[in-house]
Structure 1
Amino acid sequence: MFSRAVRPAASLARSFSASARSDARVAVLGASGGIGQPLSLLLKNSPLVSQLSLYDIAHTPGVAADLSHIETRAQVTGHIGPDQLGAALKGCDVVVIPAGVPRKPGMTRDDLFNTNATIVATLVDACARHCPEAMICVISNPVNSTIPITAEVMKKHGVYNPNRVFGVTSLDVVRANTFVAQLKGLDPARVNVPVVGGHAGKTIIPLISQCTPKVEFPADQLSALTGRIQEAGTEVVQAKAGAGSATLSMAYAGARFTFSLLDAMNGKEGVVECSFVRSEETACKYFSTPLLLGRNGIERNLGLGKLSAFEEKLVADAIGELKASIKKGEDFVANMK
């Protein structure tokens, strides 16, 4: 029996250790962007990665040349434009997709839909053609819609495997761990807060009652903490004042999830991460919960666990918005020409 409180294989330190070694080929689609570049740097630093394939519509040869000078084992290749997308994906074990436009002040993640939906659908179509068995990790927002888009595009090609498609919500966990640690004077590396639901506003549901180590907050402080975790992305967008969204912390969280997945694919046991995936845990077709990862992706969905009354209400309040976002993604693919 695996404990739901297993600390995820989140420590990037292990992923930079020479003892952690594999021969994974990883592609980053959107590698020249604000998330893509630092994410690619973190992946290049890891001995878990032997081949790092970088793709974008501009600047990728320069990013690849720059990273290729770093004294780690991963071989870096740069691919630019649609004509080179197939070559970027061929033989990949894991594909990470941060491609798309970032939020600006006043924008919600859903405002990104029209642009990013098309980008994600195009990239996933190429994945279905060139690396249909790869693990697909989608960072591009709105994740609540881009994961249904990913699933529907792969279904069209007859290659959809729900155990291999992940919406990367790790940044919500990273933020929850950090904010709880700050309030309680703890080491954030030793705090684990499961975050369930989706990846936008009130659909982000931190389960503080299941935090390891156990913590307690007065009702008003718990409400404020929950609200801060839910709107932390907006906090960064506003602080950057039009210069972008959360790129560095998102790159860290994306690398953390990728390393956990690679660890599990290599046979490491007890690897648990939260992710937005196909689910039967609630009334929503897709929902983020803690997942036990294995060699073939999701080994077991660990579910919601025991919720407090406060958390039960948060889940109930999120269902309507989540269902609408999921349907929006599905409808987009259904109406594609």
Structure 2
Amino acid sequence: MKVTVIGAGNVGATCANVIAHKDIVKEVVLVDIKKGIAEGKALDIWQTSSINHFSTRITGVTNDYLKTKGSSVIVVTSGIPRKPGMSRNDLIKTNASIVKEVTESAVKYSPDAVIIVVSNPLDVMTYAAFQASNKPHQKVFGMAGILDTGRYKAFMAEALNISPKDIHALLMGGHGDTMVPLPRYTSVGGIPVTELLNKDVIDKIVERTRKGGGELVDLM
């Protein structure tokens, strides 16, 4: 199995690194428009393979989509990142153009691939990739749900002083301020968190989850 990750920034490089370390695919190709960035990061990851005991071959390329041919999964992380004070929606015009271009380039060589979109604003970029790919909707996904759920569970675990693995949680809605965490469907060992935490604490966790991306942007 071959996976292409488009965009070798913090998110894309981390994604490629995690996939390689899990040793679940044969090959990862990291693509970026900036010369040498993807090659350097891929080489850095590959050189740890003997230490971390993985055999996934990871390579980097500069805007050469021929090298991505035959990918089963395409992960799109391309686009300009958020800066402090920016909302996800501030990125729409620029990132929609980027996502459209890279999606068209990638599906040309991997017409059967599943596409996973990470670029912000996530919901709009997923639709942009869907339109550019000409694929059925079952083959184009946005990763928002799992990220937002992960943040929500992490904050809950912190408040309860337990492992996030012990929390079952459900979120609905978009990736942003309109998301809807559902505390009444959040539980620990079958016990609703509404019986373990008071309403004020839960409300703060819900709000922090909604603003989770902005919190990271402000810190970095």
The alignment's TM-score, normalised by the length of structure 2, stands at 0.89
Identity across matched positions, percent: 30
Structure 1 position 149, deviation (Å):
0.7
The alpha-carbon deviation at position 51 of structure 1 amounts to 0.5
Once residues 79 and 54 of structure 1 are traced to their aligned partners in structure 2, the CA distance between those partners, rounded to angstroms, is 6
Q: Which residue of 2 aligns with 1:20?
A: none
- Output the CA distance in 2 between the equivalents of 1:190 and 1:86: 43
- Between 1 and 2, higher relative CO (CA 8 Å, sep ≥ 6) is seen in 1
Is the CA contact 1:105–1:237 (under 8 Å) kept in the aligned structure 2? Answer: yes
Match for residue 141 of structure 2? Answer: 166
Structure 2 runs not aligned, ≥5 long = none
- Unmatched segments (≥5 aa) in structure 1: 1-23, 241-337
CA RMSD across the alignment? 1.4
CA contact (8 A) 1:51 1:76 kept: yes
Task: Name the count of aligned residue pairs.
Answer: 208
Contact preservation (8 Å) 1:144, 1:200: no
- Inter-partner Cα distance in structure 2 for 1:136 and 1:93: 9
1:291-330 paired onto structure 2 within 5 Å: none
- Residue identity in the other structure for 2:100: A
Per-residue CA shift, 1:162-199, capped at 9, x if unaligned?
A: 11211011221111001111112221122121221110
Is 1:175 matched up with 2:154? no
The aligned counterpart of 2:2 is 25
2:117 to 108, 114, 138: 138
Q: 2: distance between equivalents of 1:190 and 1:222?
A: 17
| Structure-2 separation of matches of 1:168 and 1:174 | 11
**Whole-angstrom distance in 2 between the partners of 1:91 and 1:212:** 42
Instruction: State the match for 2:90 in structure 1.
Output: 111
Amino acid paired to 1:190: D
Give 1:48's aligned amino acid: I
SS of the equivalent of 1:36 reads helix
Give a deviation string over 1:285-315, Cα, whole Å, max 9, x none.
xxxxxxxxxxxxxxxxxxxxxxxxxxxxxxx
2: distance between equivalents of 1:52 and 1:75? 6
| In the alignment, structure 1 residue 43 sits paired with structure 2 residue 23 | no
Which amino acid is the alignment partner of residue 218 of structure 2?
Q
Match runs of 1:150-299 below 5 Å: 150-155=129-134, 160-169=135-144, 170-201=146-177, 203-213=178-188, 214-216=192-194, 217-240=197-220
1:68 alignment partner, one of 42, 46, 55: 46
Work out whether residues 29 and 67 of structure 2, in 8 Å CA contact, stay in contact via their aligned partners in 1. no
CA distance in 1, matches of 2:45, 2:201: 44
What SS is found at the alignment partner of 2:75?
Answer: strand
Q: Distance in 1 between matches of 2:182 and 2:115?
A: 26
Could you report, residue by residue, the CA deviation over 1:226-277 in whole angstroms, capped at 9, with x for unpaired residues?
A: 111100111111222xxxxxxxxxxxxxxxxxxxxxxxxxxxxxxxxxxxxx
- 4+ runs of 1 displaced by more than 4 Å? none
Which one-letter code corresponds to 2:186 in the other structure? C
CA contact (8 A) 1:173 1:192 kept: no
